[in-house]
Structure 1
Amino acid sequence: MQRLDGGSAVPPHLAGGIVALGNFDGFHLGHQAVVARAVAIARAERRPALVATFDPHPRAFFRPDTPPFRLTTIEQRLALFAAAGVDAAVVFHFDEQLAALTAEAFVAERLVRNLGVAGVVTGEDFTFGRAKGGTVGVLAELGRIGGFATEAMAPVELDGGPVSSSRIRDALREGRTAEATRLLTRPFAIAGEVIHGDKVGRTIGYPTANVAMGDYLRPAYGIYAVRGRLEDGRVLQGAANLGIRPQFTPPKELLEPHFFDFAGDLYGQRIEVELVEYLRPEAKFDGLKALMTQMDADCARARAVLASLD
């Protein structure tokens, strides 16, 4: 799969494609349905299948002080798009210039001129253009004028409600990892470089691979059963503390996975940590001995949870 800059014309062999258009943060069941429909149309019409997304997220551009909310990095989304079978991903850099484009200008300049679209598939709640002036109805009319087809997909329903990124965020904030996993079709995963910490864990028999939270949504603070995916493809099992470590001072927000039966050096490596199951909230204990007793219990429970999924 090729990554393309949405500010430039696509290569000739990718022009005239069917484009799935949206933010796609999280790439959940609903997003997957939009992309799958675009791929199906493209294959039936023997055209290229593309996904077009925005980075940074428009919300982060317009409200830079908003608390972190991202479910995926652009790198994670690109990997998910590739797995969905598209030929290319177009990344629109969301900046002042893009924000200033009217819906009509966005379609004319970015979709028609740069991408040469033959068709566009979106979710039915998709909006675009300056002041969100573009709706799926506006897009359909502009498509009729511009000579390309449009289709708006209804939300996917699961467990009695529509699948949405906001619903997933709420579930993660409340520690409902199983629900988030069903909506995403995979565990929520945090990717980042392993950084040096205080190295307290190794002194009590629980070395950790510390990862900063960055722009990711903050799920419920607490202890999780986790899987770690390393750069070389290995998958490790473990337990992780996500939060501010109330046992130690000063408070420091980190994701700190301890991987079972692993003794390698991960500093400087990029890993991805899946939050498989929320075990308990963060807590402060009466000394290190009490903490270690609880950590033993947490790890035993995490092992049992992860073993049940194999």
Structure 2
Amino acid sequence: MELIRGIHNLKDVHKGCVLTIGKFDGVHLGHQAVLGQVVAKAKTLNLPATVMVFEPQPEELFTPELAPARLSLLRDKYTQLKKLGVDRLLCIKFDLAFAAFSASEFVENLLVEQLGCKFLVVGDDFRFGQGRVGDFSMLQSMGKKCLFDVASTQSFQMKNCRISSTAIREALNDDDFALAKQMLGRDFTIAGKVLHGDKRGRTIGFPTANVLLKRCKAPVNGVFAVNVRVRDCIYPGVANVGHRPTVNGQRSQLEVHIFNFNENLYGQFISVALIHKIREEMKFDSFELLHQQIQQDAIEAKQLLAVS
């Protein structure tokens, strides 16, 4: 799957597509139903199936304090979209300059002139253009004028699917990881590159792989029993997601201790599936008390994951 970063990287070869636009946060089963049909439509028309997303998401630019926690980052979306057979992922930088595009400029310049869109699938609540004046009915009327068809995501689903990113966030907030898994079609995971930490964990026999959470907000917080994918292998472990208040941590990050694992992971990409929540993150009065709690967390994680 081709990743196109920014409008400036659109070339003549990219003209002509079946396009869908959205956040696709989590790429859950509802998204997958729509995307599967977008891919099928693209094959019927012999055109590339193209997904357009925005980074950051609009509310993260205008009202970051109100923006919902991200279920997936761009890398996560790329991975899932590729599995679904999408041909191209267009990531548009959402900034004040792009937000100033009029609704007609968005359609005529981007969708028609640069992308050559022949079939468009969007939510019927999709708004676009400066002041969010563009809506679904405007797309339909401009589609007739500019010779592209428009369908809503609801009409493009074979069955009524009430799954939503909001519902998944609520399930995660309620520590219902089984329900989140049902809606996602897979375990909820956090993935990223392992960075150097302060190496405190190795001094007490619990070395951790540290992944910085590059999000406005994390959708989860606390200590979890996890399964960790390292390359093509899965290992059980225990992880903390948060700010590490006991050691006055400032950055939101994931720290995962993999049971019976001795390899150097620095610089490697890992994916951590959250299986069960053990407890909330808390501040301890001493590092020794934290050490004792980590030992208990590891025992509980092993019991939950049924590993010795």
- TM-score (norm. length: structure 1): 0.86
Aligned twin of 2:172: 172
Deviations 1:129-178 (CA, angstroms, capped at 9, x unpaired): 222212222211211111101110229899x9832222222332332322
Structure 1 residues 60 and 157, CA gap change in structure 2 (3 angstroms): farther
Q: Bigger shift: 162-171 or 41-50?
A: 162-171
How many residues align? The count is 305
For 2:284 and 2:93, locate their aligned partners in 1 and report how far apart those are by CA, in whole Å.
46
Aligned twin of 2:128: 128
Would you say the 8 A contact 1:127–1:134 is kept in 2?
yes
Matches within 5 A, 1:13-32: 14-32=14-32
Deviations 1:61-80 (CA, angstroms, capped at 9, x unpaired): 22245567222221221121
* 2:276 corresponds to 1:266: no
Question: What displacement does 1:263 show?
Answer: 0.8
Q: Aligned letter for 2:114?
A: N
Q: Aligned letter for 2:257?
A: H
Matches within 5 A, 1:30-179: 30-66=30-66, 69-154=69-154, 162-179=162-179
Structure 1 residues 13 and 285, CA gap change in structure 2 (3 angstroms): closer
Would you say the 8 A contact 2:70–2:219 is kept in 1?
no
For 1:216 and 1:271, locate their aligned partners in 2 and report how far apart those are by CA, in whole Å.
21
Structure 1 residues 19 and 307, CA gap change in structure 2 (3 angstroms): farther
Aligned twin of 2:193: 193
* 2:223 corresponds to 1:223: yes
Aligned twin of 2:248: 250
Aligned twin of 1:240: 239
For 1:89 and 1:161, locate their aligned partners in 2 and report how far apart those are by CA, in whole Å.
24
Would you say the 8 A contact 2:128–2:134 is kept in 1?
yes
Q: Bigger shift: 143-152 or 172-181?
A: 172-181
- TM-score (norm. length: structure 2): 0.86
Would you say the 8 A contact 2:194–2:269 is kept in 1?
yes
Aligned twin of 1:298: 297
Structure 1 residues 292 and 58, CA gap change in structure 2 (3 angstroms): same
Would you say the 8 A contact 2:30–2:161 is kept in 1?
no
Q: Bigger shift: 192-201 or 137-146?
A: 192-201
Question: What displacement does 1:32 show?
Answer: 1.8
Would you say the 8 A contact 1:6–1:114 is kept in 2?
no
Deviations 1:88-121 (CA, angstroms, capped at 9, x unpaired): 1112221222101122210111110011011001
Which 5+ residue runs of structure 2 have no aligned equivalent?
none
Alpha-carbon RMSD: 2.9
Which 5+ residue runs of structure 1 have no aligned equivalent?
none
Q: Aligned letter for 1:235?
A: I
For 1:64 and 1:290, locate their aligned partners in 2 and report how far apart those are by CA, in whole Å.
36
Structure 1 residues 209 and 129, CA gap change in structure 2 (3 angstroms): same
- Secondary structure at the aligned position of 1:118 is classed as strand
Q: Aligned letter for 2:163?
A: V
Would you say the 8 A contact 2:59–2:67 is kept in 1?
no
Question: What displacement does 1:293 show?
Answer: 5.1
Q: Aligned letter for 2:206?
A: Y
